[in-house]
Amino acid sequence: MVFAPPDRIVTDRLVIRRESADDAAVVADAIDRNRTRLLPWMSWATGEAAEVSTQVARIAGASEQWDAGDMFDYSIFDLVDGSFMGKIGLHRRIGPHGIELGYWLDAEAEGRGVMTEATTALMKVALELDEIDRVEIHCDEANLRSQAVPRRVGFALDRIENRPIAAASETGRHMVWVYQPDCR
C-alpha cells in the first residue's frame, strides 16, 4: 500500500523534494521577489508570507499535514545548480479517489517547461497512491499561465464552477481540470 508519495523525485532537469525548515529562507526570498506577479492569483502572497519566520511555521504545518496524509508539499530545484524554481504540491481536499495538484513558479524559471515537467512527474506519483484514480488542477479562468499547464500535460477541462473571488485578478469562474487515466 502506498499512503504517501516519495520525499524526493528526480526528473531530467529537476529535483522535486519535500520541504524542510532549511528551505524557509529560499522560499521566503522567492515569494518576496515574485509577490507582484503572484498576488493577483494567490491571496497568500503577502509581505508576511515573504518572512522567513512565516515560512518556518508554514513548513512545520506542512510537515504535520504530510505525516497525516492530507497534503504533500514540495519545492522544485534545478538538478544542476540547485537553484529554487518554485513549489508544487498534492492536496487531499477534493473528495474520495481524487487529489488536487497546485503549483507556482519563480519568474526566473518561466518559459522553460519547468512546471510542465514537475506536474507530469507529480501527477504520475499521485496516481500510484492508494485509492487515487484522478488528479485535478484548479485555477481561475483568467489565469492563462496556470491553465496552460494542464492543457500541455493532458488534463481535460471537466467543468467551470462559480466561486467567490479570493484574489484581485480572479473572475470567480473556477476551472477544474481532470486527469483520469482510465477515462482516456
Q: What is the mean pLDDT of the chain?
A: 95
pLDDT band at 3 (very low <50, low <70, confident <90, very high): confident
58-105: per-residue pLDDT in tens? 999 999 999 999 999 999 999 999 999 999 999 999 999 999 999 999
Q: In what order do the strands lie in the sheet with 8-10?
A: 8-10, 14-18, 71-78, 84-91, 98-105, 134-140, 173-179, 156-162
Kindly state the average pLDDT of the residues 11-30.
97
